[in-house]
Chains A and B, each alone.
Chain A
């Protein structure tokens, strides 16, 4: 089967750095996405990795290792507004397979 695993919940402190891991096993791979989703709202696009390595976008970075089936999202200088769920998704033969999401709690 196809599955994506990520931690259910993480807690971090405002101003700190947090790394959210994602491991995947899928029949195909056309890229990996990270999305942010606030409660009751639509997911919003953060990053897309199709090649191995690190992609940096401001305070957010995403890393991919295709050989290990592994990715992480790194959030720096955490702000209270970063409290949300972070979703990892793999494009597998034009179907998006989603992880259940990691709820990130930011404490002052």
Chain B
């Protein structure tokens, strides 16, 4: 089944403790992206990657890191989480030539709470 897999689904952590949210896609998509979603603000892009070893900042990159060492994986790293990073996070992937039929495929989301 074609899908984007995020882990974990839920995470509660303490301020300053490094964490990684994993994202993996099995569709051979070139493009991958991370978003956070907060009430009333909609989805905001954190980082995106056009291909392996190519990453760019989105609208809200502060406090986050990403890497794209292989095509299928795009982990999101919070080096020193703070309470304002409490949010619902989504990973998404796409293939430029298939946008009309499939758009961006999203993972199931990770609900992160930083206390």
Contacts and interface: CB of A to CB of B under 8 A. Distances in A.
The answer on A and B forming one complex is yes
Interface of A: 31, 33, 35, 40-46, 48, 50, 87, 89, 91, 94-101
Given A41-B109, A48-B99, A96-B104, A89 B48 contact: no
Contacts of A46: 103
A43 B48 contact: no
Nearest to B99: A48
Interface SS of chain A: helix, strand, loop or mixed? strand
Centre residue among B31, B103, B109 by max chain A CB count within 10 A: B103
Chain B, interface size category, equals: 20 to 34
A50 B100 contact: yes
Contact of A42 (B58, B100, B102, B106): B106
Contacts, number: 52
A96 B33 contact: yes
B90 interface: yes
Contacts of A91: 99
Given A45-B105, A98-B35, 11 more contacts: A33-B103, A40-B109, A41-B109, A42-B108, A44-B106, A87-B42, A87-B43, A96-B104, A100-B41, A100-B42, A101-B42
Interface in B91-115: 99-100, 102-109
